[in-house]
């Protein structure tokens, strides 16, 4: 079957694009290689999406998914593995060996969690090192845990874990946090969050599971005994597959696609939306806006 539109990635941008495309009359398929929702599913509570305060990331995703599928979206749980986007028919091969075709394509592959790259990290991924407090926090009920990072994600994770765990050590490489002031204030007011700044994580150690983090502090090296470490040190764009389809100048030095607010790429009929696009603000609301813009561009291109 030749679709009007294939969307790659089922985060907020991709699902919003699906809603707009279906309502615009496009026969649309969405490929998602993991769980729908993207990064937001690990957010226990959204506080800044307009008119929807205090909704969980999972609940938000569920409603958006229902909205898109009720409009007739063809959702497939497959990862894109191969692209051929140069011609008027865009071809996508999946990891499972399927091939799909469409007249337009929206790339919304989002971001992956950044790693610290220090010794022991690979050993304890999934065995004490986690990227998602909402998913794994309960495993560490009444235990001591660490959160690494100083952005919004790190502070939100620390606040979430503080309600479950005995103590949360927030480890950040600088004195100043880049998280928004309201979050910083709440963290400072939470008695069982211990701020450790500036510290650098040198290594993760343990047996079968993580048992301690080795830190470089101003006073020297230190061992911090924890049952888990939640890494929140930023994200890297998942644009590797798209990169060889675009011109070299369409990716910046960090790997983000340099498409503007119109979400256009140099390839006719190919659009990019969401966090994998270079932009000044990566939030749920800007991801949703990108999805709407990219779908509108696809509709205009086909008409
Ligand atoms: P981020 O804002 O990029 O913060 C990453 C943090 O990790 C920074 O504090 C950074 O330290 C630290 N870091 C990076 N590399 C490191 C390394 N190698 N070793 C040690 N520390 C390292 O990432 P984020 O918190 O995941 O947020 C990503 C985007 O999503 C942001 O735009 C954020 O505003 C948005 N977001 C918004 C919300 C919300 O509005 N509620 C929630 C979550 C995320 P430095 O500060 O020293 O660079």
Q: What is the pLDDT of residues 169-200, one digit of tens each?
A: 999 999 999 999 999 999 999 999 999 999 99
Binding site membership of 282 for ligand 1 (Cβ less than 6 Å): yes
Ligand 1 centre from 282 Cα, in Å? 11
Confidence category of residue 228, pLDDT binned at 50, 70, 90: very high
* Candidate list 74, 122, 135, 290, residue with the active-site label: 135
What was the pLDDT predicted at 45?
83
With a pLDDT cut of 90, the percent of the chain lying above it is 93
Ligand 1 centre from 4 Cα, in Å? 37
262 is catalytic: no
Q: What is the pLDDT of residues 1-17, one digit of tens each?
A: 999 999 999 999 999 99
What was the pLDDT predicted at 51?
94
Res 31 pLDDT > 90 = yes
CA–CA dist 28, 12 (Å, integer): 16
Helices 12-23 & 284-302 angle (0-180, nearest 10): 40
Is residue 124 a contact partner of residue 211, using CB atoms and an 8 Å limit? no
Ligand 1 centre from 184 Cα, in Å? 13
Q: What is the pLDDT of residues 46-83, one digit of tens each?
A: 888 999 988 999 999 999 999 999 999 999 999 999 99
74 is catalytic: no
With a pLDDT cut of 70, the percent of the chain lying above it is 100
- Residue 42 dihedral angles phi and psi, to the nearest 5°: -90, 0
Return the DSSP state at 137. Answer: G
Residue with the bigger pLDDT between 78 and 134: it is 78
CA–CA dist 212, 253 (Å, integer): 34
Binding site membership of 293 for ligand 1 (Cβ less than 6 Å): no
263 is catalytic: no
Ligand 1 centre from 98 Cα, in Å? 36
CA–CA dist 1, 24 (Å, integer): 19
- Ligand 1: which atom is nearest the Cα of residue 235? 26
Binding site membership of 151 for ligand 1 (Cβ less than 6 Å): yes
Rounded to 5°, angle at Cα 282 from 260 and 165: 165
Ligand 1 centre from 152 Cα, in Å? 6
What are the structure tokens assigned to 228, written together? 């888990």
Binding site membership of 150 for ligand 1 (Cβ less than 6 Å): yes
What was the pLDDT predicted at 43?
82
- Beta strands in the chain, from DSSP E residues, in sequence order: 2-8, 28-31, 74-76, 80-84, 90-94, 99-107, 111-113, 129-130, 144-148, 167-171, 193-196, 200-206, 210-217, 220-225, 228-231, 235-237, 270-272
What was the pLDDT predicted at 254?
94
- Ligand 1: which atom is nearest the Cα of residue 234? 23
β partners of residue 195: 170
Cα-Cα end-to-end distance for the chain: 20
Return the DSSP state at 17. Answer: H
Confidence category of residue 242, pLDDT binned at 50, 70, 90: very high
Taken as a whole, the chain contains a residue count of 303
Res 42 pLDDT > 90 = no
Return the DSSP state at 115. Answer: P
State pTM to two decimals.
0.82
Average pLDDT of the chain is 96
- Ligand 1: which atom is nearest the Cα of residue 183? 41
Is residue 139 a contact partner of residue 127, using CB atoms and an 8 Å limit? no
What was the pLDDT predicted at 252?
97
Binding site membership of 10 for ligand 1 (Cβ less than 6 Å): no
Res 135 pLDDT > 90 = no
What are the structure tokens assigned to 249, written together? 């100048």
What are the structure tokens assigned to 20, written together? 């707009």
All structural domains of the chain: 2-112+235-302 (3.50.50.60), 122-231 (3.50.50.60)
Average pLDDT over residues 199-222: 97
Binding site membership of 32 for ligand 1 (Cβ less than 6 Å): no
- Ligand 1: which atom is nearest the Cα of residue 47? 41
């Amino acid at each position: 079957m030749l679709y009007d539109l294939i969307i790659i990635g089922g985060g907020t941008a991709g699902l919003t694009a699906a809603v707009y495309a279906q309502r615009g009359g496009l026969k649309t398929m969405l490929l998602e290689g993991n769980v729908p929702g993207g990064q937001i599913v690990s957010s226990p509570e959204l506080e800044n999406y307009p008119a929807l305060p205090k909704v969980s990331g999972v609940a938000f995703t569920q409603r958006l998914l229902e909205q898109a599928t009720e409009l007739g979206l063809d959702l497939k749980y497959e990862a894109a593995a191969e692209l051929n986007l140069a011609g008027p028919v865009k071809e996508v091969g999946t990891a499972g060996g399927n091939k799909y075709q469409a007249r337009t394509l929206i790339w919304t592959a989002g971001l992956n969690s950044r790693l610290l790259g220090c010794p022991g990290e690979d050993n304890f991924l999934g065995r004490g090192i986690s990227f998602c407090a909402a998913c794994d926090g309960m495993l560490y009920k009444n235990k001591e845990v660490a959160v690494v990072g100083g952005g919004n994600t790190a502070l939100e994770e620390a606040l979430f874990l503080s309600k479950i765990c005995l103590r949360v050590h927030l480890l950040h490489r600088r004195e100043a946090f880049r998280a928004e002031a309201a979050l910083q204030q709440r963290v400072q007011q939470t008695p069982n969050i211990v701020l450790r700044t500036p510290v650098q994580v040198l290594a993760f150690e343990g047996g079968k599971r993580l048992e301690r983090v080795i830190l470089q502090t101003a006073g020297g090296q230190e061992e911090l005994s924890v049952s888990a470490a939640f890494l929140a040190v930023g994200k890297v764009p998942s644009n590797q597959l798209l990169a060889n389809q675009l011109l070299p100048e369409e990716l910046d030095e960090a790997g983000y696609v340099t498409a503007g607010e119109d979400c256009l790429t140099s390839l006719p009929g190919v659009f990019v939306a969401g966090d994998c696009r270079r932009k000044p603000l990566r939030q749920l609301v800007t991801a949703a806006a990108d999805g709407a813009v990219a779908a509108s561009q696809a509709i205009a291109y086909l008409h």
